[in-house]
Amino acid sequence: MNYSDSFRDKELVQGLARRIAELTKDLSKPLVFMEVCGTHTMAIYQFGLRSLLPPQVKLISGPGCPVCVTPNSYLDRAIALCRLPDVIITSFGDMLRVPGSSSSLMEERAKGADIRVVYSPLDAVQLAAKNPSKRVVFLGVGFETTAPTIAGSILAAKAQGLTNYFVLASHKTMPQPMAILSADPDLQVDGYICPAHVSAIIGADAYRFLCEEYKVPCVVTGFEPTDVLQGVELLVRQALAGESKVEIQYSRVVRWEGNAKAQAMLADVFTPFDAPWRGIGVLPGSGLRIADKYAEFDAELAIPVQVEELKEHKGCLCGEILKGKVSPFDCPLFGGKCTPESPVGACMVSSEGTCAAAFKYGR
Amino acid sequence: MNNDLILLGHGSGGRLSHQLLEELIIPQLSSVPVAGQNDAALLNIGGVKLAFSTDSYVVDPIFFPGGNIGDLAINGTVNDLAMMGARPLCLSVGFILEEGFSKEELARILASMREAAETAGVAIVTGDTKVVPKGKGDRIFINTSGIGAVEHNLQIDGASAQVGDKIIVNGCIGDHGIAVLSAREGLEIDSGIRTDSAALNGVVASLLPLGSALHVLRDPTRGGVATTLKEIALQSGVTITLDEKSLPINPGVKGVCSILGLDPLYVANEGKLLAIVAPEQAEEALAVMRRHPLGKDAAVIGEVTGTSSGKVQMETLVGGVRGVEMLAGEQLPRIC
């Protein structure tokens, strides 16, 4: 058994599931825990963890997939940019299928736009260096996990003196939407499975205010099956004891204070702003835009473009799904008009989207 | 959204490819024999049973660890014939070359093709070469078609899976897709994984003596093991249950998949076959496969567990159960 296999040990996992069942056996109403990270959503589906938990524990998915929470308006701007003849759009793969108001990057690529999947923003910087007659735009989407590498790409482009590398930034930061959801009277969340990679950057202390102001238990949890179930067990124990505190299950990676170097880089290159979240709306201070001193790298400012009028897709319940109020299976479009190959909403697009996971593994 | 355009995903071998085939291609071409859901068409010409198959190869990059587009183009069509239980006889080869392509690279590709054809025991008997202007192609595309002799009376078919049958794979899954991905510009991961590209007609010949116990043979190429098993489950109208812990997967493949957020069950293979065999003959089939050099890591990975609905499910490593669907579009690396 190697290191990672030990976190997937069947006996350990089933032992944890049995303990959770024993702890919750007398509950008349289920405890509802929300995972706010797409990788957790995938892990829960991929390992079939719901099928191991008792009915007294319900896991719901929140706004933790960066692709899913990216609004149509951002896609529309990216699509407008890709139609410029001297622009190369570079992106992580997930973004290509996301529908904007009337098209997607995948569709634009089929029509001839130069859109390339890269595996790191530094590849996009390299592409800009190799193509001085083109403007290379990287689609900077993601939470605190990916934002530092994109900040790094801007610093690298500056160090190389490149004037043809740009980022269309729409980074989101995590604790704010959790506060909004906690304050929502229509939503019962008895605890958060807090994101692992995001927490490695921002530190577990970032969730303390949720426990204090909203009395909701928080456990920073890893992605392996034993991690997730141990995180659930810690949440169950807090809920049963009437406690609300932050605990770190994922102590092999996450510290209370987070990663100071990455935080400093984010503070240098980005500035917080009131970001629009798909289906949720504008949340004050919940996004990162490029700081004024790096404005020359900001695609939105540096490359003026006519963006089409915003259209929202009728009947799509992504917003309610991202808030954990509705299950993918309750959406009238799920599996019919909305499938991974022809998605109506972003939750069906990303491999980490709630609906994509439910479609692929949950049926 | 505009659904009028051909997207890359239409060539992925997954759900989009199936939709294109079922909604557009087969209805338009229904007056000619089509292979349908099987890897090759079965023809009866003057009392002689033949298998006939064609495939085109557009891989990027054209050279990758353990192989190149040339041996792939030979092995791929040989395997499509072999999956009907046919003995591959001869191939045609069509090249579409882009203006400016290097003769040296073409020579290397041709040498690999000759070697692969010799190993598989097939003759290349006809061919064609076209050159398109610079920018109108991507260096080299190859089409191969093949004819094989069907010398058995077995019903080896995607619709022949029966409840109780065991599902056997001849080795580790996902090697080809990860070898190609690792060599792709911008990624350059040193995963140590080489393509599994190989002609499987020898393995198939060793399985044919199992006779009527051999129900289905299929090579899980694009779309991977998941998509292939879903196709078989739909064709046969059965439920297939996979056992995750028995899936043979190289650690390097696991590692790259984990970094990029890919599922090895959907990653392409070029030297793997799935054999669905009656339970009483399964141990023998496994033993036969393991005696062959291309089957030493063979494993039983699941079984046909029910008669309903074309469902594929997997008992996970940790004892949970989840569904398995066809690949949707391309597998794209995730964002974080």
Q: Which chain A residue is nearest to residue B20, measuring alpha carbons? A: A341
Task: Say if B32 is an interface residue toward chain A (CB within 8 Å).
Answer: no
Q: Which two tokens stand for residue B282?
A: 């399964």
Q: With an 8 Å Cβ cutoff, are B336 and A13 in contact?
A: no
Distance from CA of B329 to the nearest CA of A (A): 5
Shortest distance, CA A66 to any CA of chain B (angstroms): 8
> What proportion of chain B, given as a percentage, has pLDDT over 90?
77
Give A69-119 as a DSSP string. Answer: TS-HHHHHHHHHHHTSTTEEEEE-GGGGG-B-SS-BHHHHHHTT--EEE-S
- The pLDDT score that the predictor gives to residue B334 is 61
| Phi and psi at residue B223, to the nearest 5° | 90, -20
Averaged pLDDT of chain B = 91
Average pLDDT on B272-279 reads: 98
* Disruptive mutation site among A119, A131, A153 for chain B (greatest number of B CBs within 10 Å): A119
Q: What are the CA-CA distances from residue A159 to residues A119, A124, A156 (Å)?
A: 21, 15, 5
Band (B236; pLDDT cuts 50, 70, 90): very high
Q: Does A353 touch chain B (CB under 8 A)?
A: no
Between these two residues, B132 and A1, which has the higher pLDDT value? B132
CATH 3.30.1330.10 domain extents, chain B = 39-149
Instruction: Name the CATH topology of B166-323.
Output: Phosphoribosyl-aminoimidazole Synthetase; Chain A, domain 2 (3.90.650)
Question: Is residue A283 predicted with pLDDT exceeding 60?
Answer: yes
Q: Which is it for strands B299-306 and B214-218: parallel, antiparallel or unpaired?
A: unpaired
> Which pLDDT does position B30 carry in this prediction?
67
Residues 6+ apart with CB under 8 A from A268: A151, A291
Name the band, by pLDDT with cuts 50, 70 and 90, for residue A30: very high
pLDDT of B330 above 80: no
Instruction: Compare CB distances from B318 to A2, A47, A118 and report the shortest one's residue.
Output: A47
pLDDT of residue B325: 87
Taking Cα atoms as reference points, which of B139, B63, B142, B69 lies closest to residue B99? B139
Instruction: Give pLDDT, residue A173.
Output: 94
B189-228 pLDDT, tens digit per residue, is 777 899 999 999 999 999 999 999 999 999 999 899 999 9
- Across the interface, whether the CB atoms of A8 and B317 are under 8 A apart is answered yes
Top-level class of domain A1-305: alpha beta
B324, B329, B333 member nearest A341 (Cβ): B329
| pLDDT attached to residue A196 | 93
Which conformational region is residue A56 in: left (phi greater than 0), alpha (psi within -120 to 50 degrees), or beta?
A: alpha
Q: Which two tokens stand for residue B247?
A: 């899936």
Does A360 sit within 8 Å of B325, measured CB to CB?
yes
Residue A187 structure tokens: 């939503």
Q: Do A146 and B335 touch (CB under 8 A)?
A: yes
Model confidence at B80, pLDDT cuts 50, 70, 90, reads very high
Residue keyed to tokens 């199936």: B18
Distance from CA of A353 to the nearest CA of B (A): 10
Residue of A nearest to B311 (CA): A363
Cis peptide upstream of residue A304 (ω within 30 degrees of 0):
no
- Higher-scoring residue by pLDDT: A90, A62: A90
The pTM score is 0.85
Residues of A in contact with B9 (CB under 8 A): 106, 341
Asked if B320 has any chain A CB less than 8 Å from its own CB, the reply is yes
Distances (CA, A) of A20 to A164, A195, A306, A312, B319: 55, 21, 54, 41, 16
* Stretch(es) of chain A classified as CATH 3.40.50.11750: 1-305
Per-residue pLDDT, A324: 85
- Closest Cα partner for B192 from B184, B200, B182? B182
The string of DSSP codes covering A229-273 is HHHHHHHHHHHHHT---EEES-TTT--SS--HHHHHHHHHHEEEE
From residue A230, alpha-carbon distances to A35, A243, B249 in Å are 14, 17, 27
Neighbours of B149 (CB within 10 A): 14
B310 vs A: CB within 8 A: no
In angstroms, the CA A325 to CA A329 distance is: 12
Mean pLDDT taken over chain A:
92
Q: Which two tokens stand for residue B6?
A: 């051909």
- Give percent above pLDDT 70 in chain B: 93
| Residue B216 dihedral angles phi and psi, to the nearest 5° | -135, 140
What residues of B are in contact with residue A50 (Cβ under 8 Å)? Answer: 320
Tokens found for residue A46: 């991929």
Q: Tell which of A341, A347, A349, A355 to mutate to test the B interface (max B CBs under 10 Å).
A: A341
Q: In angstroms, rounded to a whole number, what is the distance separating the alpha carbons of residues A249 and A252?
A: 8
Between chain A and chain B, the number of residue pairs with CB atoms below 8 A apart is: 140
Q: How confident is the model at residue A65 (pLDDT cuts 50, 70, 90)?
A: confident
Position B65 scores a pLDDT of: 94
Residue A93: list chain B partners with CB under 8 A. 330, 332-335
* Domain range B39-149, CATH class: alpha beta
Residue with tokens 């003759």: B123
Q: Which residues of A touch B317 (CB under 8 A)?
A: 8, 10, 47, 225
pLDDT at B242: 98
Q: What is the pLDDT of residues B293-329, one digit of tens each?
A: 999 999 999 999 999 779 999 999 999 999 998 887 6
* A173 and A286 Cβ atoms separated by less than 8 Å: yes
pLDDT confidence of residue B1: 47
Q: How far apart are CA B87 and CA B148, in angstroms?
A: 5
| Alpha-carbon Rg for chain A in angstroms | 21
Rounded distance, CA B232 to CA B210, Å? 20
Residue range(s) occupied by CATH 3.90.650.10 in chain B: 166-323
Lowest mean pLDDT among A209-213, A242-246, A286-290, B259-263: B259-263
pLDDT at residue B258, rounded to an integer: 83
pLDDT of B128 reads 97
- Which two three-digit tokens encode residue A247? 């605990």
Distance from CA of A45 to the nearest CA of B (A): 7
User: Which residues of A are less than 8 Å from B335 in CB distance?
Assistant: 66-67, 92-95, 141-142, 146, 350, 352
Does the pLDDT at position B35 exceed 50?
A: no
Output the CA angle A2-A4-A7, nearest 5 degrees: 115
With contact defined as beta carbons under 8 Å apart, do B285 and B219 qualify? no
Q: Among the listed ranges A121-125, B51-55, B117-121, B253-257, which one has the minimum average pLDDT value?
A: B253-257
Average pLDDT estimate for B281-297: 97
pLDDT at residue B43 is higher than 70: yes
